[in-house]
Amino acid sequence: MYRLLVVEDSKFFVNLIIRGFEHESDIEVVTATSLAEARATLESAEVPFAAALIDLRLPDAQDGEVVSLALADNIPTVIFTSNFDENIRENFLEMGVLDLVLKDNPSSLEYLQRLVRRIIRNRDTKVLVVDDSSVARRMCTSLLEKYQLDVYEACDGVEALKMLDNHEDIKLVVTDHEMPEMCGFDFVTEIRRKRDRNQLAIIGVSGSGGAPLSAKFLKHGANDFIAKPYLPEELYTRVAQNLEVMESIELLTTAATKDFLTGLYNRRSFFDLGGRIASSRSRAKKSVAIAMMDIDFFKKVNDAHGHDAGDAVLKSVADTVLRHTGRGGDLCARLGGEEFAIMLEADDPSKTSEYFETLRSNIEKQKIQYEDRTIPVTASFGVVISDKPEIEPMLTAADENLYRAKNEGRNRVVVA
């Protein structure tokens, strides 16, 4: 649970903000209506606040004094106010405030919600800043750290490429152009040999070159470009937009390739990915095992406990399957209903049998809790091993072995 501090003396705006976050189940809104109340809330807080939304004008603090309190506690702070001039804006941004948002239209509240959610997601997002100037690099890093991003630094493209190899979960690179060893264009080109723009966003940065340089960066594979010197708000906005585009694509990809209930691959993905594994193993003259797995008496679970309980069973069994198939080269999917398919490299048939027997036993040992009930679950497996693997005929053969397992009493593994 993340805690959001809202310091605002207007009940109208407090209620607007609370309603705006009421569907965010992992965000708790904590309110204060004055400087004194905000100070007491911060002093008594046992869990740090993820962000703060603060009004500049309070009954006991007319000049935004509460902002200093929040920043002193290292809380990412956004000012939400009815009016401010450019001097006030610059002063608070220099203090470390992330943004200033006017209470002038309904879209402002929507922007605040997106901003808070972005700040929270940034905690789990890695960014790499690449610049041969230690001053420029440190300035950019400092801004991104205030935005709650996990920031890495590199002084040139060569060092940055090594860092990307060691940290494959870096999602964004902010890179200068004029650097020793490798210019920004060559650096971007090298990155794109391994990772496309849907996997890693790149923002080019330069103090010279203008529009032509921006166009060249984009042509070489960058997602965006910012001219130096830039405002903190511009950097934050570009970073947020690029991360949100990648996250949207990731959601669409997940929806297309994964089963919505269990998070396992769906049938289409199993045939696609499994076909590539089978082709690779066949060329290497190595064997593959495919198993069809079925939860025993699953209809009785739905009939006795309801479909929500059935969903809980499916998710629990899927989690067990996913943990068991965590080796490189293993593939698991939900084909539909209570049927699952598993594919793995099978260099030793005896170990393959042991592999599925262990999984069967782990499923049987589960204590699936639903409300006040414990639901026992077992599963049957039909397994086939082939050194000339093809997905469809192997699935057919595995299904026949699954049928045998059921006829022989269920909760067993039949391998052929």
281 and 378 housed in the same domain: yes
CB-based contact 377:391 (threshold 8 Å): no
**Could you tell me what percentage of the chain is helix, strand and coil, using 3-state DSSP and rounding each to the nearest 5?**
50, 25, 30
Query: Is residue 333 situated within a structural domain?
Result: yes
Residue 228 and residue 298 in one domain: no
- What's at 344, amino acid-wise? L
Residue with tokens 């089978």: 278
Q: Is residue 211 domain-shared with residue 348, that is, in the same domain?
A: no
Look up the CATH number of the domain holding residue 174. Answer: 3.40.50.2300
- DSSP for residue 258: B
- Establish if 260 belongs to a structural domain: no
Three-class secondary structure of residue 93 per DSSP: helix
Are residue 278 and residue 407 in the same domain, yes or no? yes
| Pair 22, 130 in one domain | no
Residue 15 lies in a domain: yes
pLDDT for 88: 82
The number of beta carbons lying within 10 Å of the beta carbon of residue 53 is 24
Predicted structure pTM score: 0.78
Q: Are residues 137 and 248 in the same domain?
A: yes
Domain range enclosing 275: 267-415
* Residue ending a domain, choose from 120, 146, 162: 120
The three-class DSSP label of residue 122 is helix
Q: Is residue 395 part of a domain?
A: yes
Residue 138 pLDDT: 96
In 3D space, the residue among 74, 90, 70 whose CA is nearest the CA of residue 145 turns out to be 74
Residues in CB range of 126: below 8 A, 6 or more apart: 149, 150, 151, 152, 167, 169, 170, 171, 172
Q: Are residues 349 and 331 in the same domain?
A: yes
Last residue of a domain, one of 207, 227, 255: 255
Domain count, the chain: 3
CA–CA separation, 184 vs 167, rounded Å? 20
Evaluate whether 258 touches 311 at the Cβ level (below 8 Å).
no
pLDDT tens, position by position, for the chain (416 residues)?
Answer: 899 999 999 999 899 899 988 888 899 999 999 999 999 999 999 999 999 999 988 989 888 899 999 999 999 999 988 877 788 888 898 899 999 988 877 788 889 999 999 999 999 999 999 999 999 999 999 999 999 999 999 999 999 999 999 999 999 999 999 999 899 999 999 999 999 999 999 999 998 867 788 999 999 999 999 999 998 989 999 999 999 999 999 989 888 999 999 999 999 999 999 999 999 888 888 899 999 999 999 999 999 999 999 999 999 999 999 999 987 779 999 999 999 999 998 888 778 999 999 999 999 999 898 888 899 999 999 999 998 889 999 999 999 999 999 999 999 999 98
Specify if 348 maps to a domain: yes
> What three-state secondary structure class fits 153?
strand
Give the C-alpha separation, 116 to 391, whole Å: 46
Rg (CA), the chain: 27
320 with 398, same domain?
yes
Domain boundary among 77, 94, 120: 120
Determine how β-strand 331-336 pairs with β-strand 339-345: antiparallel
Burial (CB count within 10 angstroms: exposed 0-12, middle 13-18, buried 19+), residue 25: exposed
- Asked if residue 209 belongs to a domain, the reply is yes
Residue 299: CA count within 13 A, CB half-sphere: 0
- pLDDT value at position 106? 76
The answer to whether position 261 is within a domain reads no
Tell me which amino acid residue 105 is: N
What CATH number has the domain bearing residue 290? Answer: 3.30.70.270
Examine residue 262 and state whether it is found in any structural domain, yes or no.
no
pLDDT at 25: 82
The verdict on 287 and 239 lying in the same domain is no
What dihedral angle (degrees, nearest 10) is formed by the CA atoms of 19, 23, 27, 30? Answer: 20
Q: What are phi and psi of 200, to 5 degrees?
A: -145, 125
65 and 110 housed in the same domain:
yes
Question: In angstroms, rounded to a whole number, what is the distance separating the alpha carbons of residues 92 and 83?
Answer: 14
- Whether 103 and 130 map to the same domain: the answer is no
Residues 281 and 407 in one domain: yes
